[in-house]
């Protein structure tokens, strides 16, 4: 139940897939409280456990006056509608880049006591849920940018006073992408075309 330091871009924990939560105990409830307190202190819309250096599949969110958390999320996409807009991340502070996301999402998981729950999100909530779930898979929103956007983002990051020059970036593809989108994303990373864009920082600052 305290504000914790946030791990920044370049920290290996941000590229390490998190493990499912097995024990719904007091330690988990403390983690949820720490995520919530840290997120709100930083005026974020969401924060995932790896951003605090904890490799568990948990994130907190605060979107449109809805405060909550989700443990062991599994995402479903009810349609193929997309949204495009600015997105940022508390682990990449002060920088925002247009990022493409699915417009609607259903996220199923559990609360801190192990009770089943789901989030039906659209717009900003859907963006937040996708952003935070990406964190649990070791994926950053930078990985969703096209080649030009990624080049611009990396230039800005290298100029940031917090950037660790000794920690080279790693590009990953989200396992939550539908196969077609995953291929397009990989093509963009290889400079073969494609583009991507999302709207407020998860791990996002607002």
pLDDT value for 10: 92
Report if residue 102 sits inside a domain.
Answer: yes
Report if residue 43 sits inside a domain.
Answer: yes
What's the rounded Cα separation, in Å, for the pair 184 and 196? 10
pLDDT value for 166: 65
Q: The pTM is what?
A: 0.81
Mean pLDDT by 10 residues, the chain (206 residues): 91 97 97 98 97 98 97 98 97 95 99 98 98 98 94 94 67 42 35 35 47
Report if residue 194 sits inside a domain.
Answer: no
Report if residue 74 sits inside a domain.
Answer: yes
pLDDT value for 204: 52
Q: Quote the tokens at residue 85.
A: 């807009």
Tell me which residue range forms the domain holding 56: 12-189
Q: How many folded domains does the chain comprise?
A: 1
- Residue 71: which CATH number? 3.90.45.10
Report if residue 37 sits inside a domain.
Answer: yes
What's the rounded Cα separation, in Å, for the pair 96 and 56? 26
Report if residue 31 sits inside a domain.
Answer: yes
Report if residue 200 sits inside a domain.
Answer: no
pLDDT value for 18: 98
What's the rounded Cα separation, in Å, for the pair 133 and 100? 15
Measured in whole angstroms, the distance separating CA 60 from the mean position of its chain's CA atoms is 11
Report if residue 61 sits inside a domain.
Answer: yes
What's the rounded Cα separation, in Å, for the pair 18 and 29? 17
pLDDT value for 164: 73
What's the rounded Cα separation, in Å, for the pair 132 and 137? 9
pLDDT value for 42: 96
* Backbone torsions φ then ψ of 62, nearest 5 degrees: -150, 90
DSSP states of 154-174: HHHHHHSTT--TTS-------
What letter does residue 20 receive in the DSSP assignment? P
Instruction: Provide the annotated active-site residues.
Output: 132
């Amino acid at each position: 139940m305290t504000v914790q330091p946030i791990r920044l871009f370049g920290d290996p924990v941000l590229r390490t897939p998190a493990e499912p939560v097995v024990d719904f105990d007091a330690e988990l409830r403390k983690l949820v409280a720490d995520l919530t307190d840290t997120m709100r202190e930083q005026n974020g819309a969401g924060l995932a456990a790896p951003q605090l250096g904890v490799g568990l599949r948990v994130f907190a969110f605060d979107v449109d006056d809805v405060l909550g958390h989700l443990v062991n999320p599994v995402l479903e996409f009810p349609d193929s509608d997309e949204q495009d807009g600015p997105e940022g991340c508390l682990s990449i502070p002060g920088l925002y880049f247009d990022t493409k996301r699915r417009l609607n999402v259903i996220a199923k998981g559990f609360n801190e006591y192990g009770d089943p729950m789901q989030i039906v999100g659209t717009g900003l909530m859907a963006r937040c849920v996708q952003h935070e779930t990406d964190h649990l898979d070791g994926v950053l929103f930078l990985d969703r940018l096209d080649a030009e956007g990624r080049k611009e983002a990396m230039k800005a990051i290298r100029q940031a006073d917090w950037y660790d020059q000794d920690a080279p970036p790693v590009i990953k593809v989200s396992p939550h992408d539908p196969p077609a989108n995953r291929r397009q994303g990989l093509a963009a990373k290889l400079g073969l075309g494609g583009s991507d864009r999302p709207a407020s920082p998860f791990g996002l600052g607002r």
